[in-house]
Structure 1
C-alpha cells in the first residue's frame, strides 16, 4: 500500500487487498486515516464517473461527498462475500446518482390525494432474496476476466454506451461488443437459477 497517509496526494494507487484492510480499519476502529486513504483513492474516480454520466463538476463533487459519507456511516454493512470494496463503493455511487437525478426530475406537481403509495413494510423474505441475489451477481462479476468486467462495469455502473467505452479504452467497437457478449454469456450461465 502506497501513500495512504499523504493528504497532499490527489490520488493514490491501492490494491483490492488494500481496500479491504482500510474498510476493516474504518469499521472496527473508525480510523480516520484509513478513511482518508479510501477517500483519496476513490474520490477522484467517483467524480470522474459522475461527470461521464452527465453531472457538472459541482454536482459531481457533491455526489462524491454523499458517496463517501455513506461509506463512512454504513461501513458496517459491507460484506466481503458479496463483492469487492470497489464494487460496493461504485454501487453506492450509482445509487446516489440515480437518487439525485430523480430528486431533480422536472415532473409536474401531483396532488398527494391522487398518488397510490406502496406499503413501506419490508417483506423479510424479499429482502433476504434481494441480498442473496446481489451477492451472487457480485461474485459472478468478480469471476469475469478483467477486460470483460471493466466493460460491464463501464456500461452499468458508469452508464456508458458501447461507443463511449470503445473510445475510453481505445478499443474497436467490435471488440467492446464481443467482450460484452462473452461477459453476458458467462453471467447468464452463472446466474441461471437466480431470480
Structure 2
C-alpha cells in the first residue's frame, strides 16, 4: 500500500511531494509532513468551500474536519485511483455534502404522524454518482500534467481561463489549448469506460 503511494504517476514534482508527505503521515504519523499538507490545502479548501456558499466559520469547520480525515485516513490513499489533491478535495466535498444534509434536516420538526419525503438521493443515484466520480478521476489520471493542472484549477479552484493563464504565467491561448486537448482526451477515456 505505502509502496503504491511512492509510485505516484506523472512527473509533477508538486504531486510527488504531496504523495511523499501523505506517505510520511500514513507510515510514521509525521506531524511536520501533515503540517505541510495542511498549510498548502487548508486555505485552498476554505476558498473552495466559500465559493460553494459556506460562510467563513462553516468553511473553517469543514477544513478542520477534512484535514482530520486526511490524518486519520492517510493509509487508505491509493494513487491508482487519483492524485493526493483529488483525494483531499473529494474528502472535503463529501464532508460538505454530509453537513448540508444534516443541517437541512434540522429545519423540519416532527409533528405527530407527519412524514416528510426523504431528500436523500436514492441508493442507485449514490452508486451512479460514485461511479461517475471514479470515471472522472481515471480520466484525469491519463492527462499529461500540464493539461490536468488547468482542469483542476478550472474546476477545483474555480478559476477562469484568464486567471489560470496569469497564475501559470502562460499565454491565454496556451491555457485554452491545454483545456481543449484535455477535454478531448477525457471524453475518449470516459466513452471507453461506459
The TM tier, using the shorter chain, reads: 0.5 to 0.7
Determine the C-alpha separation between the residues in 2 that align with 1:37 and 1:47. Answer: 16
Asked if 1:60 is matched to 2:59, the reply is yes
Q: CA deviation at 1:113?
A: 4.5
Partner of 1:50: 49
* Residues 25-34 or 51-60, more deviating: 51-60
Any idea what the Cα deviations from partners look like across 1:162-185, whole Å, max 9, x if unmatched?
xx5245335799987775554332
TM-score (norm 2): 0.67
Q: Which has the higher helix share?
A: 2
Any idea what the Cα deviations from partners look like across 1:110-163, whole Å, max 9, x if unmatched?
767454699x9x99xx79xx57x75553242133345543443345434x4xxx
Partner of 1:23: 22
Determine the C-alpha separation between the residues in 2 that align with 1:54 and 1:17. Answer: 31
Q: Which structure is higher in RCO with an 8 Å CA cutoff and minimum separation 6? A: 2
TM-score (norm 1): 0.66
Q: Any unmatched runs of 5+ in structure 2?
A: 1-12
Distance 1:45 1:110, change over 3 A: same
Partner of 2:164: 169
Distance 1:116 1:36, change over 3 A: closer
Any idea what the Cα deviations from partners look like across 1:76-100, whole Å, max 9, x if unmatched?
2200111111111111122222222
Q: CA deviation at 1:21?
A: 1.3
Partner of 2:8: none
Partner of 2:102: 103
Determine the C-alpha separation between the residues in 1 that align with 2:115 and 2:90. Answer: 34
Partner of 1:70: 69
Any idea what the Cα deviations from partners look like across 1:18-61, whole Å, max 9, x if unmatched?
21111111111222222122111211221222223232222221
Aligned residues: 173
Distance 1:62 1:181, change over 3 A: same
Q: Any unmatched runs of 5+ in structure 1?
A: 1-13
